[in-house]
Structure 1
Amino acid sequence: MLQDDTSPISTVNSNKSLVVLDLSWNRLSSVPMWIFDLHGLVSLDLSLNHLEGPIPDYFGNMSFLKVVDLGWNSLNSSVPNSLYSLNHLQFLGLTENNFQGEISNAIGNLSSLNHLDLSENQLQGKVPASLGDLCKLKEMDLSYNRIDQDISEILQSLSKCSLESLELLSMADNQLSGHLTHKLGQFKNLASLVLARNNISGPIPLSIGELSSLKVFDVSENQLNGTLSPNFGKLANLETLDIGQNQLNGVVSETHFSNLTKLSMLSASGNMLRFEPNSNWIPPFHCEIIQLSHWHLGPKFPHWLKFQKKLIALDLSHAGIADDVPTWFLNLSTQFQILNLSSNQLTGGIPYLKVGNMVDLSSNRFSGPLPRLLSNQFSNQLPVRFYSLSKNLFSGSLFEFVCNSSVPSIFVLHIDTNLLSGEIPDCWNRWKELGILNLGNNNLTGRIPSSLGGTRLRMLNLRNNSMFGELPSTLQNCMGLVILDLSENYFSGRIPAWIGDKLSILMVLSLRSNNFVGHIPHQICALQSLQILDLGHNDISGAIPKCLRNLTAMAIKEKQSEIYYNWISYKYNMNIHGILMSASLVLKGREDLYSTTLGLVTSIDLSANSFTGQIPKEVGTLIGLLSLNLSGNILTGNIPDIIGNMELMESLDLSMNRLHGGIPSSFTNLNFLNHFNVSYNNLTGQIPTATQLQSFDNSSFMGNHLCGPPVSKSCSTEGVPTDATKNGESSGRSKVNGFYVSTVVGFVMGFWGVVAPLFFIRSWRHAYYGKLEHIGNKVYVFWATKCI
């Protein structure tokens, strides 16, 4: 294995006739300069090294080069101009190098080029019109760049010279716009067209049916609209059809598939298409992957699936199916890796599905007790990896399913949002590979079984059940836990210290709405990955720990966009590389499900407890915190001025405490606040002006002695002068004067309002003492009859 420039020049001198040089998969950090002395070199492969740019621009001395492959390096520069002078070059591979700038118009000089790969760079601007001069071009891959151009202009340029030669055109993941024109049908030898994830709109042209050589057609995740052309039925060589996540509508007929005998992947989810074939229709294809989510396929279960014997992945979610799962479907295949029948109206009991790796039957209307879904006859099949029965009407006990020895190993088990009842059985010792367990939103009771501690849990969700008791110490063995959600139950006792000691990578801890007591253990502060801490609505007391400043994931502004863990590998290239974590969070007084954005959320909720003392100023060091809720406690003292440094704060609730002083002027820095509440405290003084605070309703400030917008009370000089920058403290003289004035006024009003009329008006005096005598008589009668 070569490293840098260590190869002796004598070796080069003795190989004057060297024509092929392959230095791929080495550890070169720079291009050896002796390479450029090999003037007769025909093929140069420097791919998959650690080359850093800019690369020497000496390729002009190597005029015989036909193959140049510099892919998968870190050249971080513009494409060397000397490459464009190699008029014998046939293969140019520059993928994944972070090349920048525009593609030079000089690329038209590469008259012999048939393979051009500039994918996965940072190229921008437009494709030069000189690409139309490459008459021998067969494959062009410009995907994963920043090219911003009308797709019709690109097709117009390529149609000048390469109509007969072009076989592959890939420009996925750019910023292409415009419409696909009728010129598309002129590329007679085009076998692969990939334009996914752009901004292309308009209909798919009728000329698509003229691409008789087409094998791959992928225009997914664009803005295509209109109906699906029936000319697709002419594409006898088509193997992959991906039109998913567009705005296509209308009716799809059998004609659309009439000659697609080689079709192996039909991916068209996320459109508004209706498919109503005859009940006796037999499709000409035998697909491995069918994804038709959000199509209208019902109300009957699609009978044509009976003839699909090779299915690996099937997605019929949101398809308007209101039917029983037919028996023939249950015996269809033993090769399923992904099965998604969610969000339909499937009826009857859950069938015995022969699955390999994933089952998703969520959002249906299944009824009846939870059955044995996997029996002994499937024990020799691939182990189930994903199993979801979410959002149904399953009822009864979990015992038969969990404790059934014939159920193979499961990685992910979702049976949330059903009508399950009874206790969670203590049979988890055999579920060694269990990583995600979601039983939330059911009617489960009893304690958490200790055998769950023998699994490899990454997420445990028992949210919104009727479970009780203390947390079992065996859960501390699940040291890989990322999400622990036990909220909305009746769990009691103290929060265990082992949560902080053992669950070191915990990112979400929600014990909300339970009966926990005692103090927050200081070990919780050791959870440096913690982003969500929700202990609201318990009976936790004591001071808020100052050590919360050690929650470093909340003290940084940069956050990860997604929470994944990559502990499972997948087969069949299903493009699934990890498990997306999700959690229900209560933010801004509303509960929402967070999944793809979960890693962007940071929150502390200690509301509705019995915390005392002051708000620790150390909380203000958590500058990455987006939501802080300390409402409904017995907190005293001033609002720490340092909270104004938490510039990313979107939600702040300090209501229903005993805080005093003013609202700190530093709150002018909280420009992202969209939820704010300090009501029902003892705050005084003027609300800081020219800030986000003026955008909130008066209800956010009521129950205090605040003045200025947005409250109706004005801050006049006749009242008690306060200084908001000094937390609302007024001068000593003002306090004394105010005390004496109020005392005198109170005495005068009390005397002249009550005592004076009794003294001067006889009738009032008689009525007053008569009333007192009547009350005394009633008290005596009550005492005499009840107490003697």
Structure 2
Amino acid sequence: MAISGSIFILFTLVFIHGLTICSSHTNSSSRVKCIDRERIALSKFQKSLTDESGRLLSWIGQECCSWKGITCSNKTGHVLKLNLHNPTPFDNDRFYNSQDGEYIDYYSKSCLAGELNPALLDLKQLQFLDLSMNNFSGSEIPKFFGSFKNLKHLNLSAARFQQDLSNFWTNRLTSESLHWVSSLSYLKHLDLSGVSLRQAKNWLDSVNGLQFLTKLNLSNTLVATIPPLTRCPNFTTLVSLDLQWNIITSDIPHWLFDLSNLIELRLDGNGIRGPIPEAFGKLTNLTVLGLSRNYFNTSVPDSLFNLRNLTYLDLSQNKLQGTIPNAIVNLCNLKFLDLTDNRFTGKIPDFGINQNDCLQDIDVLRISYNSLNGPISASFGTLSSLRELDISNNILNGSIPSSFGQLSNLEKLELSNNSLSGMVTELHFSKMSKLTEMSLSLNNLLVFNVSSDWIPPFQLKTIKLSSCTLGPLFPSWLKTQENVVELRISRAGISDRLPDWFEKVYSRVHYLDMSKNNISGQLPQFEEANNRPFRRLILNSNSFDGQLRPLPSDVLLWDVSNNFVSGNIPVQNGTNLTLEVLILSSNLLSGLFPGFLCEIKTMTILDLANNRFTGKLPECIGEIENLSMLDLTNNTLHGEIPNSLGNLPLLSLHLHNNNFQGQLPSLENAMFLNILDVGKNSFTSVIPPWIGENLQYLAFLSLQSNNFHGEIPEKLCQVPQLQLLNLARNNLTGNIPPCIGNFSAMIMDHSSIEYLMLDVDYGGSIPGIINGIERRYTKTMPFLTSIDFSDNNIVGEIPDNLTGLVGLRNLNLAGNNLTGKIPGKIGDMQELISLDLSRNELSGQIPPSLSDLNFLTYLNLSYNNLSGRIPTGNQLRTLDPSVYLGNDGLCGAPLVRRCDGDAPAPQDNDRTDINEGDDDDDDDSLFPWFYAGIGPGFLFGFLVVCGILHFVRSWRYVFFKWVEYVAVGSCCFRPR
């Protein structure tokens, strides 16, 4: 069993005769003389333990019955009870000691540890032993525990015996058989939660002999099946069965439904498939039923609504379908109902409308993450006991009923991510004095319409109103909320100056997101929160100006990108910061790269793109040992890249558009690098071979606009996941490698790729020239597949196997010296939307398969030596004739040049005019006189211009290209 993320190992045996322990207080026990032999045994036991917190400091003197945790018999003086349970909760918050600069984990310090001395066996009358919640990690459960003849209660839960918590699944208490249990005939309560029973195939037969058993807990034991019984169940007295958090995939056996006394049944967190059995309706005494986190995939059976005693029903995280039956409102005693994360459709039942005052005691109602539609019923306002209402993440529409204001016990309201609309007023919250969590985010048509002097009846800890309309003024009611831990008001239509009171009220907020508004003024100063070392402060895409201020040491994420912040980054002691993500891109920041950032060892993402930073990148950059993403795009940094950069575990590196020089340092140790963009710099040398040899996870590579020379290395073909390869505008020579068809990521269909919408809008970006226009791709990067070798000196033919890259969307080979024909199977590249082969020396006909490219929106074949008829059909009909400019041998539509064998164009004198008459004769009579006058003037002007242009080569070139442009009827002129 897990408590706050820890693993419980619980082994408790309680016998039918009960626990007869002296209830005397310590004061009365102290009047009994301690037995010397037992005092000596306890002293030996104490000395073998490690007691960092001093819990056993009272274990001194002769009277052991007065020691803390010891209970003796009032009559005999024998020790009956040894209770050393750790009183500090496991999830106790760490406390920050400002004097030592460290966080103190009180739970760990209060744990007893060390060895368990067998001298305890001298406690002959010991009936109760509790060592739970301590830390005996590495020790086996002592075998001498089996020699306590009078022991009736043994609790070793969460004592970490025989465990290595770093690898719990392979180092846990194991039992290969439960045969020993069958001899404990009077056993009432068996709890083996956390013990591995993977090998215990006969566990059910062993348990079936326990006819007095009332509680059986085998949760988190790796049980893989609920086996059938070879005989009828003997443990019919069972009232509680817990098999949750196992790996059960078998059907639910029929014998389980014969346990008519069951009150609690938990099967959560397994792999049970199929329908929920109708036979559940036989278990009419059930008050608790947990079937969550399985794979039940049909509608909810009607028999479930016969369980009128249910107070707890959890069907969440399955694949249940259909509508939520209205009969569910007849489960009058329900206090907890969770239908979250299924596939329910239709409308939400009217939980507040019933005949017998049912559901008046329900306090938790969760129906989120389904596909429920329609409006929210006003009847919810009658559920007066409701503490938590979560109907988020559906497709509900309409307004929020004002009756919600009557929910006086409501503590948590979750309506986010629906299609709700309308006004939200003070009336909606009129009696919600206990509300602490409110989430209405991602309802784009919700408008808060409250007065500027409204004082809410609640004090919220969590406020989530992103994408609701709160503006244009900054919401003044937020001033009254003094306990807020989380405030999310991004995309809220606020266009106002940050109020003076904000810094005082929210300077210690744990999670703040005010992004994508138009909030102006200076950035607020945040204070240390001390006990919260994981704060996230997101203020990007606003109009903040002025200087950056120093950050508190407990901030994990700081994003003020896309503002107007200027000046230098203030120098701080980086060793005191816990910062992991720093995003300052798209501001007006300047100065040298701040060296103190090298001291922040926790940094994983550093984004300084689109600023005015100058100077060189310091060698200490390699000391940010956890840095996985570095973005310095669009600054004016210069010099060589430090070799220390290659020491970092980079996943994404962006140095685009700076003045970096020299050779690209080796990044072969960054074996998981996914994005490498060093375009628009002045790097020289050949393309490094280590890119193909070591970067097997590289997906996006841009070396464009540098001074790389030599041939395209065939080793690039060894990077199977490469889906963008941009080598444009370098000095590359040689042929296109014939292995280019090996890029498996360019063969996949990317049309159905799902990608995660990041909480912070940062996932890196990459530039690409698509459709002749340079664009920067961010969240759409997973869809981008591109090869760009344009404007180099590449020769030879286009490899035929290039057409095997059927997932490629952009191919740009323009501005090279390519010869030969366009591959005949170019039409196989069905995802192509942009194809540029212009300014080469390609010859032959345009392949007819080109017309098969149904998604092609940009084509440029100009300035080659192509000839023959232009293919027609599909997308080619929509393209401009200029895409064929500079190919003298091309003919056919859309050019005016006809191909051999085409029917001649109709002439004027061949047409028949239905309005023959004197008017036509008059027009014809003007013709010779008109051209007789214009002819000599045009000829004279033409000869003069030609005479001048004869001496200027560039003008001659332009002029005759202009004549060619007129001849093909083009609307644009793009000379080679």
**TM-score above 0.5:** yes
Deviates more, 1:408-417 or 1:160-169: 160-169
- Give % identity: 34
Conservation of the 8 A alpha-carbon contact between 1:45 and 1:68 = yes
In 2: Cα distance, 1:651 partner to 1:600 partner: 14
Residues 1:193 and 2:393 aligned together: no
User: Structure 1's 60 and 470: CA in aligned 2 closer, same or farther, altered over 3 A?
Assistant: same
Query: What is the deviation of 1:174?
Result: 1.4
Determine which of 359, 369, 384 is the counterpart of 2:568.
369
- How many residues matched? 705
Corresponding residue for 2:134? none
In 2: Cα distance, 1:639 partner to 1:160 partner: 79
Q: Deviations over 1:220-254 (max 9, x none)?
A: 12222222221325322112111112122244446
Conservation of the 8 A alpha-carbon contact between 2:248 and 2:271 = yes
Conservation of the 8 A alpha-carbon contact between 1:131 and 1:158 = no
Query: What is the deviation of 1:51?
Result: 2.8
Q: Deviations over 1:580-607 (max 9, x none)?
A: 4443433333344434432233222212
Pairwise mapping of residues 25-174 of structure 1 onto structure 2 (< 5 A)? 25-34=220-229, 37-38=232-233, 39-52=236-249, 54-56=251-253, 59-151=256-348, 153-155=349-351, 161-174=357-370
> What secondary structure does 1:514 align onto?
coil
Query: What is the deviation of 1:13?
Result: 4.2
User: Structure 1's 602 and 20: CA in aligned 2 closer, same or farther, altered over 3 A?
Assistant: farther
Corresponding residue for 1:470? 663
Amino acid of the structure 2 residue aligned with 1:553: A
Corresponding residue for 2:901? 717
Corresponding residue for 2:687? 495
Corresponding residue for 2:496? 298
Conservation of the 8 A alpha-carbon contact between 1:657 and 1:680 = yes
Amino acid of the structure 2 residue aligned with 1:717: G
In 2: Cα distance, 1:667 partner to 1:46 partner: 62
Conservation of the 8 A alpha-carbon contact between 2:351 and 2:359 = no
Amino acid of the structure 1 residue aligned with 2:681: N
In 2: Cα distance, 1:668 partner to 1:29 partner: 57
Conservation of the 8 A alpha-carbon contact between 1:604 and 1:627 = yes
Conservation of the 8 A alpha-carbon contact between 1:298 and 1:320 = yes
Could you say what the CA RMSD is over the residues aligned between the two structures, in angstroms?
A: 3.3
Conservation of the 8 A alpha-carbon contact between 2:331 and 2:359 = no
Structure 1: unaligned runs, 5 residues or longer: 566-574, 721-767, 777-788
> What secondary structure does 1:185 align onto?
helix
Residues 1:480 and 2:663 aligned together: no
Residues 1:524 and 2:719 aligned together: no
In 2: Cα distance, 1:536 partner to 1:445 partner: 21
Amino acid of the structure 1 residue aligned with 2:486: I
In 2: Cα distance, 1:57 partner to 1:648 partner: 54
Determine which of 591, 597, 621 is the counterpart of 1:396.
591
Structure 2: unaligned runs, 5 residues or longer: 1-195, 905-942, 952-976
Query: What is the deviation of 1:315?
Result: 1.5
In 2: Cα distance, 1:619 partner to 1:281 partner: 60
In 1: Cα distance, 2:622 partner to 2:244 partner: 49
Query: What is the deviation of 1:266?
Result: 0.8
Query: What is the deviation of 1:514?
Result: 1.8
> What secondary structure does 2:284 align onto?
coil
> What secondary structure does 1:272 align onto?
coil
Pairwise mapping of residues 732-751 of structure 1 onto structure 2 (< 5 A)? none
Pairwise mapping of residues 446-461 of structure 1 onto structure 2 (< 5 A)? 446-461=639-654
User: Structure 1's 112 and 449: CA in aligned 2 closer, same or farther, altered over 3 A?
Assistant: same
Conservation of the 8 A alpha-carbon contact between 1:239 and 1:265 = yes
In 2: Cα distance, 1:488 partner to 1:677 partner: 24
In 2: Cα distance, 1:150 partner to 1:718 partner: 65
Conservation of the 8 A alpha-carbon contact between 1:500 and 1:527 = yes
Amino acid of the structure 1 residue aligned with 2:628: G
Residues 1:311 and 2:495 aligned together: no
In 2: Cα distance, 1:256 partner to 1:180 partner: 26
Q: Which structure is larger by alpha-carbon Rg, 1 or 2?
A: 2
Pairwise mapping of residues 583-622 of structure 1 onto structure 2 (< 5 A)? 583-622=766-805
Conservation of the 8 A alpha-carbon contact between 1:695 and 1:710 = no
Query: What is the deviation of 1:564?
Result: 8.3
In 1: Cα distance, 2:378 partner to 2:438 partner: 19
Query: What is the deviation of 1:669?
Result: 4.5
Conservation of the 8 A alpha-carbon contact between 1:73 and 1:97 = yes
Residues 1:432 and 2:608 aligned together: no
Q: Deviations over 1:490-544 (max 9, x none)?
A: 2222111111112222111111122211111111111122221111222211111
> What secondary structure does 2:795 align onto?
strand
In 2: Cα distance, 1:450 partner to 1:408 partner: 18
In 2: Cα distance, 1:159 partner to 1:126 partner: 21
User: Structure 1's 254 and 143: CA in aligned 2 closer, same or farther, altered over 3 A?
Assistant: farther
Corresponding residue for 1:22? 217
User: Structure 1's 691 and 559: CA in aligned 2 closer, same or farther, altered over 3 A?
Assistant: closer
Determine which of 286, 292, 303 is the counterpart of 2:483.
286
In 1: Cα distance, 2:830 partner to 2:657 partner: 33
User: Structure 1's 441 and 714: CA in aligned 2 closer, same or farther, altered over 3 A?
Assistant: same
Conservation of the 8 A alpha-carbon contact between 1:101 and 1:123 = yes
In 1: Cα distance, 2:744 partner to 2:633 partner: 29
Corresponding residue for 2:6? none
Corresponding residue for 1:735? none
> What secondary structure does 1:649 align onto?
coil
User: Structure 1's 189 and 549: CA in aligned 2 closer, same or farther, altered over 3 A?
Assistant: same
Conservation of the 8 A alpha-carbon contact between 1:403 and 1:427 = no
> What secondary structure does 1:384 align onto?
coil
Q: Deviations over 1:451-495 (max 9, x none)?
A: 21222222111112222222123x333323211111122222211
> What secondary structure does 1:481 align onto?
coil
> What secondary structure does 1:684 align onto?
strand
Residues 1:677 and 2:869 aligned together: no
Amino acid of the structure 1 residue aligned with 2:732: I
User: Structure 1's 714 and 185: CA in aligned 2 closer, same or farther, altered over 3 A?
Assistant: farther
| TM-score (normalizing by structure 2) | 0.67
In 2: Cα distance, 1:107 partner to 1:93 partner: 12
Conservation of the 8 A alpha-carbon contact between 1:143 and 1:170 = yes
In 2: Cα distance, 1:161 partner to 1:678 partner: 77
User: Structure 1's 279 and 618: CA in aligned 2 closer, same or farther, altered over 3 A?
Assistant: closer
Conservation of the 8 A alpha-carbon contact between 2:280 and 2:303 = no
Residues 1:206 and 2:206 aligned together: no
Query: What is the deviation of 1:17?
Result: 3.5
> What secondary structure does 2:619 align onto?
coil
In 1: Cα distance, 2:254 partner to 2:540 partner: 57
Determine which of 794, 813, 816 is the counterpart of 1:633.
816
Conservation of the 8 A alpha-carbon contact between 2:425 and 2:448 = no
Corresponding residue for 1:324? 522
Conservation of the 8 A alpha-carbon contact between 2:599 and 2:624 = no
Query: What is the deviation of 1:277?
Result: 7.3
Conservation of the 8 A alpha-carbon contact between 1:561 and 1:596 = no
> What secondary structure does 1:68 align onto?
strand
Conservation of the 8 A alpha-carbon contact between 1:370 and 1:397 = no
Query: What is the deviation of 1:10?
Result: 4.6
User: Structure 1's 169 and 713: CA in aligned 2 closer, same or farther, altered over 3 A?
Assistant: farther
Query: What is the deviation of 1:98?
Result: 2.6
Query: What is the deviation of 1:310?
Result: 4.3
Conservation of the 8 A alpha-carbon contact between 2:699 and 2:721 = yes
Residues 1:387 and 2:582 aligned together: yes
> What secondary structure does 1:500 align onto?
helix
Conservation of the 8 A alpha-carbon contact between 1:252 and 1:276 = no
Corresponding residue for 2:142? none
Conservation of the 8 A alpha-carbon contact between 2:329 and 2:359 = no
Q: Deviations over 1:677-696 (max 9, x none)?
A: 33333333444444333343
In 2: Cα distance, 1:343 partner to 1:274 partner: 16
